[in-house]
């Protein structure tokens, strides 16, 4: 018996002032990717740049498609 998915696709990305949030089709938040646009020293401050956070959120949101393609192959 196949169990229903716990985090149904499609996953979407919301942009906020300090982070990107990845949500499933039911609106459940699955990941938060924080960034700092005014980062002065990347070696000291642990936050991502806006572009890096967006890139990570986009790749994270693609996970259901990647997993499905692995099961179909």
- Note the pTM of the prediction, 2 decimals: 0.80
Task: List the domain boundaries for the chain.
Answer: 12-72
Q: Is the pLDDT of residue 72 over 70?
A: no
How far apart CA 45 and CA 40 sit, in angstroms, is: 8
How far apart CA 60 and CA 1 sit, in angstroms, is: 28
Please tell me the total number of residues recorded for the chain in this structure: 73
Instruction: Quick: pLDDT tens for 39-68.
Output: 666 566 677 899 999 999 999 999 998 887
DSSP, residue by residue, 20-52 = EEEE-TT--EEEEEEB-TT-S-TTT--PBPHHH
Instruction: Quick: pLDDT tens for 6-21.
Output: 899 999 999 999 999 9
């Amino acid at each position: 018996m196949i169990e229903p998915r716990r985090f149904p696709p499609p996953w979407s990305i919301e942009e906020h002032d300090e982070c990107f949030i990845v949500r499933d089709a039911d609106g459940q938040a699955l990941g938060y990717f924080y960034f700092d646009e005014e980062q002065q020293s990347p070696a000291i401050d642990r936050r991502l740049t806006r572009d890096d956070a967006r890139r990570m959120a986009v790749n994270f949101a693609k996970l259901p498609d990647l997993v499905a393609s692995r099961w179909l192959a």
